[in-house]
Amino acid sequence: MNLRNLGKSGLRVSIAGLGCNNFGARIDLEATRKVVDKAIDLGITLFDTADIYGNKGGSETMLGAVLGDRRKNIILATKFGMQMETPEKKGASRRYIMSEVEDSLRRLRTDWIDLYQLHEADPRTPIEETLRALDDVIRQGKARYIGCSNVPAWGVVEAEWTARSSGTNKFISTQNEYSLLARDIDRDLVPVVEAYGLGLLPYFPLANGLLTGKYDRAKPMPEGARLTGNQRLADRLLTDDNWRKVEKLTEFAITRGHSLLDLAFAWLLARPGVASVIAGATKPEQLDQNVKAVDWQLTAAELDEVDKITGAAY
């Protein structure tokens, strides 16, 4: 498994990461153990979770239970900021950060978090307060690096310059939805990533399964699949425009001896700033497919052709 530096930091992560949002929600402890074991066997080092995943705390708890001594061999990333058990348990204030990092450490059964990420912007808290609190978390040894997620481009720029002016540690990464079917961040966030040397961690790289190749609009929806059981997601993703793109992208991949899933990973790894592609899994065999996919290196001509298919004009 190849490694890449996360932005300009010295933190190196596997180019295929494991999203842990299914743990404690869609799969139980034993199924989680099998997925984690397989990921480690395949050389995946980046495990990305959040305090809210797994019905608020379940994912972190399960990771803490199954990692054991192997925790020191992986890069453990988690997030804070979205509402937990009660309305006041959310945000990015100093008071909340200092409390929630302790809760995450307890659930994860670890003394430190490799990458501690603000899960969403908190409009009620000045970014300087957030960064100074996170700087203290690093200085106390409870986190090694900090990042953000779901923060708009202007907010990432504000955080960058606030950190520079206040002398605090800064965000080394940003995590946002990004895929062949979700390219909005090409307009503003990707240029910011390039300008400031941030690492980009795409989530939903397979568009909630639409880029796995298992869906076909001419056939019934597969039983038990994510989009089959989630009408809200299905309405958002299963549009005529997306179906046309999926069909053309599938043909593009097959004519080159690859799958649509291969293309989804390979394209992201060719994008500016992308350090690792985070994909969830409910079964160990899904990880085999993900790891195989990262071997394809697209040419400049192939990337141009993908841009034409996806209608990118950024």
249 vs 263: CA distance, rounded Å: 8
Which one from 53, 96, 145, 178 is the annotated catalytic residue?
Answer: 53
Sign of torsion, CA 170 175 180 181?
A: negative
Q: Are 262 and 293 in contact (CB under 8 A)?
A: yes
For residue 5, what are the β-bridge partners?
A: 12
DSSP 196-244: HT-EEEEESTTGGGTTTT---TTSPPPTT-TTTS-HHHHHHH--HHHHH
53 is catalytic: yes
Give the HSE-up count for residue 197: Cα atoms under 13 Å, Cβ half-sphere.
Answer: 5
C-alpha torsion 303→246→186→286, nearest 10: -90
Backbone φ and ψ for 125, nearest 5 degrees, come out as -120, 130
E runs forming strands in the chain: 3-5, 12-14, 16-19, 46-48, 75-80, 113-118, 143-149, 171-177, 199-203, 277-280
The set of catalytic residues is: 53
